[in-house]
Structure 1
Amino acid sequence: MGGVTIYQVAAQAGVSPSTVSNLLNGRAGRMLPATRRRVEAAIEQLGYRPNRAARQLRTGRNQVIGLVVPSVANPFWGTFARHLEATALEAGYHVLLCNSEREPDRERRYVDELWSDGIRGVVLCSSLPDLSHLMPVVDEGLHLVAFDRTAQAGDHESLVNISLDNVLGGRIAAQHLLDLGHRRLAFVSGALGSVNRRERFRGFSDALEDAGLDPAKALVWSGGPSHRYGDLDAAGLGRTAAAELLATPEPPTAIVAVNDMCALGVCAGIRDAGLRVADDVSVIGFDDIVLADLAAPALTTIRQPLAEMAAAAFDHLRAGIDSGDPMPGQSLLMRPELVVRASTSPVR
Structure 2
Amino acid sequence: MGTVTIQQVAAEAHVSPTTVSNYLTGRSERMQPETRDRVRAAIDRLGYRPNRAARALRTGKTHSIGLVVPSVANPFWGTFANELERASIAAGYSVLLGNTERDAARELRYVEDLWDAGVRSIVLGTSLPSLEHLQPFLDRGLRLITFDRPVQPTDPPSVMSVSVDNSVGGYLGAAHLLGLGHTRVSFVAGAMQSLNRTARYRGFCSALTEAGLDPAEQAQWSGTDAVPAGAAEAAEIGREAITAMLAGPRPPTAVMAINDMTALGVCSGIRALGLSIGADVSVVGFDDIVLATLCDPPLTTVRQPLPDLARLALREAVGDDDDAATRGGSVLLRPELVVRGSTGPVPEVAIGRRSGPATRVVAGDPRLVS
TM range (shorter): 0.7 to 0.9
Query: What residue identity is the alignment partner of 1:338?
Result: L
Q: Which residue in 2 is equivalent to 1:175?
A: 175
Q: Which residue in 2 is equivalent to 1:222?
A: 222
Distance 1:120 1:190 in 2: 34
Question: Post-superposition shift, 1:161?
Answer: 1.4
Q: Which residue in 2 is equivalent to 1:340?
A: 339
- Does the CA-based 8 Å contact 2:13-2:38 persist in structure 1? no
Q: Quick one: structure 1 residues 36 and 288, their matched pair in 2 at CA, closer, same or farther if it must change by over 3 Å? A: farther
- Does the CA-based 8 Å contact 2:123-2:147 persist in structure 1? yes
After superposition, the C-alpha distances for 1:39-94 in whole angstroms (9 at most, x for unaligned) are 5xx86xxxx97543112235553111111111112111111111111222222111
Q: Which residue in 2 is equivalent to 1:110?
A: 110
Question: Post-superposition shift, 1:144?
Answer: 0.5
Q: Quick one: structure 1 residues 178 and 108, their matched pair in 2 at CA, closer, same or farther if it must change by over 3 Å? A: same
Scaled by the length of structure 1, the TM-score of the pair is: 0.87
After superposition, the C-alpha distances for 1:281-324 in whole angstroms (9 at most, x for unaligned) are 0000001111111111001000111111111111112125x339
Q: Which residue in 2 is equivalent to 1:88?
A: 88
After superposition, the C-alpha distances for 1:179-236 in whole angstroms (9 at most, x for unaligned) are 000011111112111110000000011111111111111111122x3x1212212112
Query: Aligned to 1:286, what secondary structure does the other structure show?
Result: strand
Query: What residue identity is the alignment partner of 1:180?
Result: L
Q: Quick one: structure 1 residues 307 and 36, their matched pair in 2 at CA, closer, same or farther if it must change by over 3 Å? A: farther
Q: Which residue in 2 is equivalent to 1:189?
A: 189
- Does the CA-based 8 Å contact 2:283-2:343 persist in structure 1? yes
Query: What residue identity is the alignment partner of 2:68?
Result: V
Query: Aligned to 1:245, what secondary structure does the other structure show?
Result: helix
Query: Aligned to 2:68, what secondary structure does the other structure show?
Result: strand
Q: Which residue in 1 is equivalent to 2:3?
A: 5
Q: Which residue in 1 is equivalent to 2:245?
A: 245
Q: Which residue in 2 is equivalent to 1:256?
A: 256
- Does the CA-based 8 Å contact 2:4-2:49 persist in structure 1? no
Q: Which residue in 2 is equivalent to 1:31?
A: 37
Scaled by the length of structure 2, the TM-score of the pair is: 0.82
Query: What residue identity is the alignment partner of 2:341?
Result: A
Query: What residue identity is the alignment partner of 1:290?
Result: V
- Does the CA-based 8 Å contact 1:141-1:326 persist in structure 2? no
Distance 2:325 2:27 in 1: 23
Question: Post-superposition shift, 1:272?
Answer: 0.7
Distance 1:138 1:25 in 2: 22
- Does the CA-based 8 Å contact 1:143-1:326 persist in structure 2? no
Distance 1:156 1:228 in 2: 26
Gaps of 5+ in 1: none
Q: Which residue in 2 is equivalent to 1:198?
A: 198
- Count of residues in correspondence between the two structures: 334
- Does the CA-based 8 Å contact 1:185-1:219 persist in structure 2? yes
Query: Aligned to 2:276, what secondary structure does the other structure show?
Result: coil
Distance 1:97 1:328 in 2: 23
Question: Post-superposition shift, 1:149?
Answer: 1.2
- Does the CA-based 8 Å contact 1:25-1:91 persist in structure 2? no
Q: Quick one: structure 1 residues 212 and 284, their matched pair in 2 at CA, closer, same or farther if it must change by over 3 Å? A: same
- Does the CA-based 8 Å contact 2:165-2:335 persist in structure 1? yes
Q: Quick one: structure 1 residues 27 and 5, their matched pair in 2 at CA, closer, same or farther if it must change by over 3 Å? A: farther
Distance 2:341 2:173 in 1: 14
Query: What residue identity is the alignment partner of 1:31?
Result: D
Question: Post-superposition shift, 1:239?
Answer: 1.5
Query: Aligned to 1:187, what secondary structure does the other structure show?
Result: strand
Question: Post-superposition shift, 1:148?
Answer: 0.8
Query: Aligned to 2:308, what secondary structure does the other structure show?
Result: helix
Taking every aligned residue pair, what percent have the same amino acid on both sides? 53
- Does the CA-based 8 Å contact 1:26-1:92 persist in structure 2? no
Q: Quick one: structure 1 residues 328 and 23, their matched pair in 2 at CA, closer, same or farther if it must change by over 3 Å? A: closer
Distance 2:116 2:244 in 1: 47
Query: What residue identity is the alignment partner of 1:169?
Result: G
Query: Aligned to 1:133, what secondary structure does the other structure show?
Result: helix
Q: Which residue in 2 is equivalent to 1:330?
A: 329
Distance 1:230 1:206 in 2: 25
Does structure 1 residue 100 correspond to structure 2 residue 100?
A: yes
Distance 2:142 2:73 in 1: 27
Distance 1:92 1:38 in 2: 14
Q: Quick one: structure 1 residues 113 and 284, their matched pair in 2 at CA, closer, same or farther if it must change by over 3 Å? A: same
Q: Quick one: structure 1 residues 59 and 155, their matched pair in 2 at CA, closer, same or farther if it must change by over 3 Å? A: closer
Q: Which residue in 2 is equivalent to 1:155?
A: 155
Query: What residue identity is the alignment partner of 2:229?
Result: D
Query: What residue identity is the alignment partner of 1:189?
Result: A
Question: Post-superposition shift, 1:37?
Answer: 9.7
Question: Post-superposition shift, 1:280?
Answer: 0.6
Q: Quick one: structure 1 residues 32 and 50, their matched pair in 2 at CA, closer, same or farther if it must change by over 3 Å? A: closer
Distance 2:171 2:324 in 1: 39
